[in-house]
Amino acid sequence: MTEKPKTAVARGRRPSPAYAATRDVLIRCGMELLTEQGFSSTGLDAVLKRATVPKGSFYHYFANKDAFG
């Protein structure tokens, strides 16, 4: 008799709906500012200010600035 291979079980908590909502707000605000000001005039601080997200929290949603886009 052969056993079925076991599937990996994810550890930790699932991202909450609030997590996804905040990440979406960051992306939306980034897109708005890029459209309004252009790439070279848009900084991360402006995106965070518009999204009302603290700078330290940004790295909870994205590994680094490059991952943001």
Which pLDDT value is given to residue 40?
A: 86
| Full-model pTM | 0.71
- Shortest CA distance to 46 belongs to which of 59, 63, 34, 60? 34
Token pair for 42: 């848009």
Give exposure, 6-41, as e/b (b: 16+ Cβ within 10 Å): eeeeeeeeeeeeeeeebbebbbebbeebeeeeeeee
Which pLDDT value is given to residue 37?
A: 94
**Amino acid making up residue 20:** A
Query: In a 10 Å sphere around its CB, with 0-12 CB exposed, 13-18 middle and 19+ buried, how is residue 67 labelled?
Result: exposed
Which pLDDT value is given to residue 66?
A: 82
Which pLDDT value is given to residue 22?
A: 93
pLDDT truncated to tens, each residue of the chain (69 aa)? 566 666 655 567 666 788 889 999 999 999 999 999 998 888 999 999 999 999 989 999 998 888 887
Q: What are the structural domains, with CATH classification, of the chain?
A: 17-68 (1.10.10.60)
